[in-house]
């Protein structure tokens, strides 16, 4: 009988090589934080061992216990055979350089809005104050929590219709020590929201029915509530556009991601002066509007 992988693969280096080979030979889809087999392997192996993703060469030749090898090999198989995103396997994803707890109750963070947060929404925000921020359809809370770390005096509300998602968001608030100024609100889009905000940020469901049916298997491990938005993918976006002006300050900004549905939105509402953002690090389908742009909607 030939030896089993857990008996032959002894070090972290061995498992990284094995995972990379398995991923490269498989039909897995990369779209949840990495775009190649090696980075996928590094995320799975190193975070399964609670080791850093960078500056980790000192660990590569460390021998692992049998239980550690068995755990990692099991996760490699689940990634390949069941097509489960690595973030769910290791219960962690990174967004804007910050770690977030994730599981199948929330989408894996991947929004290009992070690039705008890092730039503090300049030049559009100008010198205006940012006292209140709303992260609408928050999921894990990654966008709002990341914004809270940049606008470090702002109060931030994380809103979602899903109480399961808000449970995850609360774990992330606690992990980042932001409970004194970041809170969760259960709300169906803006129906349960009170008051006005200087920034409303949203990565709502925006996948149309055709795209949803054709998405790689990895995406079907994510909650459909966080993806599907009707036939044209714009069901939630239209509700945000209709309600946002009542929840923005005079100089407030609305920033919404609609992904591939941006063409349909632009064609359906040529009367709205959308500013479509061009991203340096990839991504599209994000628009920005000021409160006065919404007056005629």
pLDDT in tens, 261-292: 999 999 999 999 999 999 987 788 999 999 99
129 shares its domain with 194: yes
Confidence bin at 2 (pLDDT 50/70/90) = very low
Query: Mean per-residue pLDDT for 121-142?
Result: 95
174: containing domain: 101-294
Q: What is the CATH number of the domain that holds 169?
A: 3.40.50.150
- The answer to the question of residue 81 being in a domain is yes
* Whether 65 and 86 share a structural domain: yes
Residues 277 and 234 in one domain: yes
Q: Are 233 and 263 in contact (CB under 8 A)?
A: no
Question: Which pLDDT band, with edges at 50, 70 and 90, does 1 fall under?
Answer: very low
CB 95 within 8 A of CB 113: no
**If we measure between CA atoms, which residue out of 262, 256, 259, 261 comes closest to residue 230?**
261
Could you say which of 61, 90, 119 is where a domain stops? 90
Q: pLDDT band at 165, cuts 50/70/90? A: very high
pLDDT band at 3, cuts 50/70/90? low
Distance CA 24, CA 31 (A): 15
Q: What percent of the chain has pLDDT over 70?
A: 99
Q: How many domains does the chain have?
A: 2
Query: For residue 84, what are its two tokens?
Result: 């489960």
- Are residues 225 and 138 located together in one domain of the fold? yes
CB 64 within 8 A of CB 12: yes
Domain termination site, one of 90, 112, 127? 90
Terminal CA-CA length for the chain:
71
Interval 22-58: pLDDT, tens = 999 999 999 898 999 999 999 999 999 999 999 999 9
Burial class (CB in 10 A: 0-12, 13-18, 19+), 262: buried
Report if residue 95 sits inside a domain: no
pLDDT tens string 211-253: 888 999 999 999 988 987 888 889 999 999 999 999 999 999 9
How many CA atoms lie within 13 Å of 53's alpha carbon, on the beta-carbon side?
A: 17
- CA distances to 27, 109, 279 from 96, in Å: 28, 10, 14
Domain boundary pick from 90, 113, 147 = 90
Residue 115 shares a structural domain with residue 192: yes
- State whether 226 and 256 are in the same domain: yes
Residue 57 sits in the same domain as residue 164: no
β-strand partners of 289: 254
Q: What is the pLDDT of residue 52?
A: 95
pLDDT value at residue 209: 83
| 35 and 107 co-located in one domain | no
Is residue 152 domain-shared with residue 215, that is, in the same domain? yes
**Contact in structure between 5 and 17 (CB atoms under 8 Å):** no
> Is residue 96 in some structural domain?
no
With both helix axes pointing from N to C terminus, report the angle between 66-77 and 37-48 in degrees, rounded to the nearest 10: 140
Looking at the structure, tell me whether residues 119 and 154 fall in a common domain: yes
> Based on the domain organization, do 139 and 261 belong to the same domain?
yes
Please provide the average confidence, as pLDDT, over all residues in the chain.
94
149 in any annotated domain: yes
Same domain membership, residue 136 and residue 46: no
Q: Is residue 275 part of a domain?
A: yes
């Amino acid at each position: 009988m030939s030896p089993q992988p857990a008996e032959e693969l002894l070090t972290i280096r061995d498992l990284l090589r094995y995972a990379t080979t398995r991923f490269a030979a498989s039909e897995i889809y990369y779209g949840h934080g990495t775009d190649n087999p090696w980075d996928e392997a590094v995320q799975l192996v190193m975070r399964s061992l609670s080791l850093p993703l960078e500056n980790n060469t000192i660990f590569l030749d460390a021998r692992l216990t049998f239980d550690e090898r068995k755990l990692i090999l099991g996760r490699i198989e689940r990634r390949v055979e069941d097509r489960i995103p690595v973030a769910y396997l290791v219960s962690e994803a990174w967004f804007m350089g910050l770690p977030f707890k994730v599981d199948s109750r929330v989408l894996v963070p991947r929004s290009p809005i992070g690039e705008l947060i890092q730039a503090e929404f300049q030049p559009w925000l100008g010198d205006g104050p940012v006292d209140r921020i709303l992260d609408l359809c928050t999921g894990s809370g990654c966008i709002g929590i990341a914004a809270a770390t940049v606008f470090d005096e702002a109060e931030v509300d994380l809103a979602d219709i899903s109480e399961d998602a808000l449970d995850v968001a609360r774990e992330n608030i606690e992990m980042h020590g932001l409970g004194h100024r970041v809170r969760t609100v259960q709300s169906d889009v803006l129906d349960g929201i009170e008051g006005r905000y200087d920034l409303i940020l949203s990565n709502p469901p925006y996948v149309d029915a055709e795209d949803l049916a054709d998405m790689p298997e990895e995406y079907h491990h994510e909650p459909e509530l966080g993806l599907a938005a009707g036939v044209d993918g714009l069901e939630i976006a239209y509700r945000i556009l209709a309600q946002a002006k009542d929840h923005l300050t005079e100089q407030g900004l609305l920033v919404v991601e609609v992904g591939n549905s941006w063409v349909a939105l632009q064609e359906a509402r040529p009367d709205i002066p959308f500013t479509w953002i061009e991203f340096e690090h990839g991504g599209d389908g994000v628009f920005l509007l000021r409160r006065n742009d919404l007056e005629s909607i």
